Amino acid sequence: MQSGISVSQELHDAFKTFVSDTSIFCLPVTIKSESLSPLPTVPFASPNAFYPSLSQLSSVLEPKTPIYLLLRRPEDGSSSLIALTYIPSNAGVRAKTLFASTRATLARELGTEKFSSTIFATDEDEVTGEAAWRERDAEKKGTAGGFRREDLMGEKERELDAVRRAEEEARNGTPSRDIGIGGTFNRGNPFGGASVQMRVADDVKQALEGLQQSGLVQLAIDVPTEAFKVAVAESGVEPNSVESHIPPSSPRYTFYHYPDSDAVIFIYTCPSGSSIRERMLYASSRMHALTMAGEQGLKISKKIEASSPDEITGERLHEEVHPPQDNGPSRGFARPRRPGR
């Protein structure tokens, strides 16, 4: 579903200049007055220097503010253009929806054939970090120097990659590949091997079954026993205080029944500083937690993923349950399917 927003003549002119002027590294684009509009361009740090120029993109990125970045990447004496969509995970619901539903329009109206690839990013490191770009290159090629990408990784890198893939699969709800479906988790080798059943205590089921309006039930995983347990079960929790119940250093699954509504919000927080073992367990067991909640009668209407409790603000929860109405032209826009990376 598209948003109804189109490319302005100003952007068409700026893009024409961008294509012809090889000294321009990036053409930022935003949505303004119901149209796609250009922002001031970013030059290369030095001629054709892609990686050294990445850090300059920080100057156009703002917290909680989506943006499109049209990038030039010199390769083998020529250059290719990349359309990157940056939507921070803590951006407002309306902004997320608007930019996600317009990204296809941007590429189509400027000419899809002009872009060698399109990228979706939710974290600044995915935009400005050299490691993220080299990882994309390795994934695109499948091999590097005749070796599989996994062969070039150290043990910690392999674990982190396994976590990343497990989180991505759980995020996209891919049941055929999600290693956590049914509450199983691969012990030892993250790519296969024996599995154990995630245990669920009776008090966990009782807490979920008894969740009422303004109530909050938070589940943790006991790592040594690989079992779900109740970390928090409280009633009368105001939206503004939900974040105070979420620990900043360990992953958690939080179920919150928004006041004066039928909305039950599932909040998955996974701090980057938590251990590899924790991150792997939580990423791979997320589908099991949701399935188990459904079995206790909870109908999850909203899902949030965050890396820090301070992202779970009362304002964000309100936006999830009561999205702002579009006051623009009647054409409006509809919530799209979640874009892929």
DSSP 114: G
Evaluate if residue 192 carries a pLDDT over 80. Answer: no
pLDDT of residue 164: 58
Find, among 205, 174, 135, 151, the residue nearest to 340 by Cα: 174
Domains of the chain: 6-147 (3.40.20.10), 181-321 (3.40.20.10)
* Sheet containing strand 227-234, strands side by side: 199-200, 227-234, 216-222, 252-257, 264-269, 300-306
What mean pLDDT, rounded, does the chain reach?
80
- The set of residues, in sequence order, having a beta carbon less than 8 Å from that of 260 and lying 6+ positions away, is 213
Evaluate if residue 91 carries a pLDDT over 90. Answer: no
Neighbours of 298 (CB within 10 A): 18
* Cα angle, residue 103 at apex, residues 101 and 108 outer, rounded to 5°: 115
219-235: average pLDDT: 91
62-90: average pLDDT: 88
Helix (H, G, I), strand (E, B) or coil at 56: helix
**Residues of the chain with pLDDT > 70: what percent?**
76
pLDDT of residue 190: 35
Evaluate if residue 333 carries a pLDDT over 80. Answer: no
Which range is least confidently modeled, 120-124, 132-136, 192-196, 323-327?
A: 192-196
CA dihedral 61, 63, 67, 71 (to 10 degrees): 30
Find, among 306, 320, 311, the residue nearest to 257 by Cα: 320
Strands 195-197 and 227-234: unpaired
Q: Which residue has the higher pLDDT, 168 or 320?
A: 320
| 212, 186 contact by CB (below 8 A) | no
Per-residue pLDDT band at 224 (split at 50, 70, 90) = confident
DSSP 105: H
pLDDT of residue 327: 52
Q: How many Cα atoms are found within 13 Å in the side-chain-facing hemisphere of 306?
A: 24
42-57: average pLDDT: 94
